[in-house]
Amino acid sequence: MELINSIFNLLFGSDPELRRIIAVTLQMSFFSTFLSAMIGIPAGVLLGANEFRGKTFISRLVNTMLGLPPVVAGLIVLLLLSRSGPLGSLNLLYTIQAMVIAQVLLITPYITAMTSNLVGVNASVINETLAGIGIRGTKRLKYFLLDFRVPFLTIILAGFGRSIAEVGAVQMVGGNIQFKTRVMTTAIMMQTNMGRFDFAIALGIILLLISFLINSVVNRVQKVAADD
Among 191, 187, 184, 186, which residue's Cα sits nearest to residue 168?
186
Q: Using DSSP, state whether 93 is helix, strand or coil.
A: coil
pLDDT in tens, the chain (228 residues): 555 666 566 666 667 888 899 899 999 999 999 999 999 999 998 898 888 888 899 999 998 998 889 999 999 999 999 988 899 899 999 999 999 999 999 999 999 999 999 888 877 777 777 777 777 767 777 778 777 888 888 899 889 988 998 888 999 999 999 889 999 999 999 989 888 888 888 888 888 888 888 888 878 877 776 666
What are the boundaries of each domain within the chain? 2-227
DSSP 85-137: STTGGG--TTSHHHHHHHHHHHHHHHHHHHHHHHHHTSHHHHHHHHHHTT--T
HSE (side-chain half, CA atoms, 13 Å) at 209: 10
Which fold, 2-227? Answer: MetI-like fold (1.10.3720)
User: With contact defined as beta carbons under 8 Å apart, do 191 and 199 qualify?
Assistant: yes
pTM reported for the whole predicted model: 0.88
